[in-house]
Amino acid sequence: MAKKQFKIGEYALGGIIDVQTNDRLRTVEIQARDFRSKAIVQSGTFAQASIDVIDDYLNELTSYYYAEKVLNWIKSVL
Instruction: Return the sign of the alpha-carbon dihedral for residues 75, 50, 69, 31.
Output: negative
Give residue 78's pLDDT: 86
Secondary structure of residue 21 in the 3-state scheme? strand
The yes/no answer on whether domain 2-77 falls in CATH 3.30.67 is yes
Other CB atoms closer than 10 Å to residue 9's CB: what's the count?
A: 12
Tens digits of residue pLDDT in 5-54: 999 999 999 999 999 999 899 999 999 999 999 999 999 999 988 999 99
pLDDT at 69 > cutoff 90: yes
In sequence order, what are the residues at sequence separation of 6 or more whose Cβ sits closer than 8 angstroms to the Cβ of residue 11?
62, 63, 65, 66
**48 or 64, higher pLDDT:** 64
Q: What are the domain boundaries of the chain? A: 2-77
pTM of the full predicted structure? 0.93
Instruction: Tell me the H-state helices in the chain.
Output: 51-61, 64-77
